[in-house]
């Protein structure tokens, strides 16, 4: 058995950010990944994908974008190279192709079993990602057998899909981008839309994320929101990292021939049913977007900033009245359903009672009920941008302080036990 003070599980942005913080504070640790550094960006993303966050917003502890296109958007190859450079910049102790198969309590610390060595560690940081497993509703089982099903992590390019039309379920960043790509590739596309967050790419002359960054919106912490559980369920932003900085929204898709419908609610005898809720969901997204733009306007006025004039707000919802509520799969030649319906986490290897009844790790700002066990990189862990490249660093810094304290405590109590011997045990 090998000993180390801290085991970090996962070498994505969260695991690497934590490793940087631990390195800076001289904590002996390893980072274990079942694949390679940034594995999900290599093997679970589609070919044309670019980050939807601009390059300047790839700030990590001790590292930031230093190229000549700060307002551009990295391709997947760029992202992988960026994280490889980050890991190399501080000699991150990453062990690649090592899968963690069990984490158990072991005295004051943990026993971490892997496909290679077994580790004994006083602290463990779970950084296996919030976008772990695509979630597909049970409704999928009601589609006729000849319909192909695909999730975004398995989708690569349009030609991979069987000939014919495509039903995309879900209209957050992934669903919208994939509907757009398939439409441009000449496919007939229907997109089923639920609750979503609409945003323009640019507003008053700047990237929308630049405004949100300056205003501190993305840094808002869990105690600033009304209900953290609701905030954690918020859909991702309807944005695309397009080199032309275009806005991607439902109206634009519909103008190009994509059939936009409400939430998928049933499938019966090869006919899908959609809720008659498209006006309601698009109106809710319109209101939220209008209020955010208004907040930006007030920020510009309050700080007397030079900005392009505000254009009249253009709501989308009214254009969606009377949307179809059914789709006959065969009559429309629909052969594929692409489920862009979000992610869940799965921790079968975590043999410590910290999971809630949904299988999520119970935590407060990443600190779990098991002393010495931490989780990093989850959606809204501590702040709105906790699962973004730009946000994970602050959370890693905060949790690193806890790791260090825990190590100091366990080292002190071990030293005391050694000095006092059995007397301390008897008193305890």
Ligand X SMILES: Cc1cc2nc3c(=O)[nH]c(=O)nc-3n(C[C@H](O)[C@H](O)[C@H](O)COP(=O)(O)OP(=O)(O)OC[C@H]3O[C@@H](n4cnc5c(N)ncnc54)[C@H](O)[C@@H]3O)c2cc1C
Q: Which stretch binds ligand X (CB under 6 A): 124-132, 157-165, 245-253, 330-338?
A: 124-132
Rounded alpha-carbon distances, angstroms, from residue 247 to 241, 343, 385:
9, 24, 21
Alpha helices in 91-239 (DSSP H): 173-184, 208-215, 228-232
Q: Which of 127, 248, 250, 396 binds ligand X (CB under 6 A)?
A: 127
13 lines the binding site for ligand X (CB under 6 A): yes
The residue among 27 and 79 lying less far from ligand X, judged by its C-beta, is 79
State the minimum distance, in angstroms, from the CB of residue 399 to ligand X: 13
CA distance 14 to 386: 9
131 lines the binding site for ligand X (CB under 6 A): yes
136 lines the binding site for ligand X (CB under 6 A): no
Q: Which of 123, 174, 336, 341 binds ligand X (CB under 6 A)?
A: 174
Cα angle at 399 between 395 and 404, to 5 degrees? 150
Q: What is the arrangement of strands in the sheet containing 326-328, beginning at the earlier edge strand? A: 264-268, 271-274, 326-328
Q: Which stretch binds ligand X (CB under 6 A): 13-21, 282-290, 310-318, 331-339?
A: 13-21
State the minimum distance, in angstroms, from the CB of residue 152 to ligand X: 6
113 lines the binding site for ligand X (CB under 6 A): no
Q: Are 205 and 220 in contact (CB under 8 A)?
A: no
9 lines the binding site for ligand X (CB under 6 A): yes
- Within positions 178 to 237, which residues make up the interface with ligand X, using CB under 6 A? none
Beta-carbon contacts of residue 200 (< 8 Å; ≥ 6 apart)? 208, 247, 249, 289, 293
Rg (CA), the chain: 24
CA distance 44 to 151: 10
39 lines the binding site for ligand X (CB under 6 A): yes
User: Which 3-state string (H, E, C) describes 374-407?
Assistant: EECCCCCCCECCCCCHHHHHHHHHHHHHHHHHHH
Site string for ligand X, 329-368 (x = CB under 6 A): --------------------x-------------------
State the minimum distance, in angstroms, from the CB of residue 16 to ligand X: 7
Q: Which of 6, 27, 31, 32 binds ligand X (CB under 6 A)?
A: 32
State the minimum distance, in angstroms, from the CB of residue 329 to ligand X: 26
Q: Which stretch binds ligand X (CB under 6 A): 18-26, 141-149, 154-162, 388-396?
A: 388-396
State the minimum distance, in angstroms, from the CB of residue 376 to ligand X: 7
Q: How far apart are the first and last CA of the chain?
A: 28
State the minimum distance, in angstroms, from the CB of residue 298 to ligand X: 26
In the three-class reduction of DSSP (H, G, I as helix; E, B as strand; rest coil), residue 264 is classed as strand
Q: Which stretch binds ligand X (CB under 6 A): 29-37, 164-172, 196-204, 401-409?
A: 29-37
316 lines the binding site for ligand X (CB under 6 A): no
State the minimum distance, in angstroms, from the CB of residue 425 to ligand X: 35
Q: Which of 20, 45, 384, 406 binds ligand X (CB under 6 A)?
A: 45
Beta-carbon contacts of residue 257 (< 8 Å; ≥ 6 apart)? 183, 188, 189
State the minimum distance, in angstroms, from the CB of residue 173 to ligand X: 6
CB atoms under 10 Å from CB of 210, counted, come to 16
- Within positions 93 to 112, which residues make up the interface with ligand X, using CB under 6 A? 99-100
Is 290 exposed, middle or buried, given 0-12, 13-18 or 19+ CB atoms closer than 10 A? middle
State the minimum distance, in angstroms, from the CB of residue 367 to ligand X: 17
The residue among 55 and 272 lying less far from ligand X, judged by its C-beta, is 55
State the minimum distance, in angstroms, from the CB of residue 390 to ligand X: 6
The residue among 129 and 262 lying less far from ligand X, judged by its C-beta, is 129
Beta-carbon contacts of residue 330 (< 8 Å; ≥ 6 apart)? 270
Strands 189-192 and 206-207, bridge-based pairing: unpaired
The crossing angle, in degrees rounded to 10, of helices 208-215 and 278-302 is: 60
Strands 2-9 and 29-32, bridge-based pairing: parallel
The residue ranges that bind ligand X (CB under 6 A) are 9-15, 32-35, 39-40, 45, 51-53, 99-100, 127-129, 131, 174, 349, 377, 387-390
């Amino acid at each position: 058995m090998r000993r180390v003070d801290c085991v970090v599980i996962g070498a994505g942005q969260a695991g690497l950010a934590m490793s940087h913080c631990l390195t800076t504070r001289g904590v002996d640790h390893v980072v274990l990944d079942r694949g390679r550094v940034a594995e999900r960006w290599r093997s679970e993303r589609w070919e044309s994908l670019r980050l939807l966050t601009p390059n300047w917003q790839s700030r990590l502890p001790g590292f930031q974008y230093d190229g000549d296109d700060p307002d551009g958007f990295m391709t997947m190859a760029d992202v992988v190279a960026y994280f490889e450079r980050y890991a190399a910049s501080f000699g991150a102790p990453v062990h690649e192709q090592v899968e963690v198969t069990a984490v158990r309590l072991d005295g004051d610390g943990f026993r971490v079993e892997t496909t290679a060595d077994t580790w004994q560690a006083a602290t463990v940081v779970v950084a296996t990602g919030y976008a772990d497993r695509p979630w597909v509703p049970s409704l999928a089982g009601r589609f006729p057998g000849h319909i192909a099903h695909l999730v975004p992590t398995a989708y690569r390019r349009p030609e991979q899909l069987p000939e014919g039309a495509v039903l995309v379920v879900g209209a957050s960043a992934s669903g919208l981008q994939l509907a757009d790509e398939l439409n441009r590739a000449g496919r007939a596309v229907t997109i089923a839309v639920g609750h979503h967050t609409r945003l323009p790419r640019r507003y008053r002359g700047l990237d929308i994320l630049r405004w949100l960054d300056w205003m501190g919106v993305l840094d808002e912490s869990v105690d600033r929101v009304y209900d953290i559980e609701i905030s954690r369920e918020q859909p991702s932003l309807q944005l695309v990292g397009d080199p032309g900085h275009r806005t991607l929204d439902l109206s634009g898709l519909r103008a190009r021939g994509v059939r936009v419908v409400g939430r998928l609610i049933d499938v019966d005898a090869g006919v899908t049913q959609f809720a008659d809720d498209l006006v309601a969901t698009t109106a809710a997204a319109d209101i939220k977007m209008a209020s955010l733009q208004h907040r930006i306007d007030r920020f510009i006025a309050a700080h007397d900033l030079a900005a392009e004039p505000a254009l009249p707000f253009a709501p989308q919802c009214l254009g969606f009245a009377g949307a179809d509520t059914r789709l006959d799969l065969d009559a429309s030649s629909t052969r594929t359903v692409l489920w862009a319906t979000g992610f869940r986490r799965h921790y079968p290897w975590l043999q410590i009672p910290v999971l809630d009844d949904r299988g999520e790790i119970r935590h407060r700002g990443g600190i779990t009920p098991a002393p010495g066990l931490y989780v990093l990189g989850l959606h809204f862990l501590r702040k709105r941008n906790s699962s973004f490249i730009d946000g994970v660093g602050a959370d890693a810094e905060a949790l690193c302080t806890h790791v260090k304290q825990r190590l100091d405590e366990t080292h002190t109590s071990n030293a005391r036990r050694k000095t006092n011997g059995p007397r301390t045990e008897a008193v305890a």
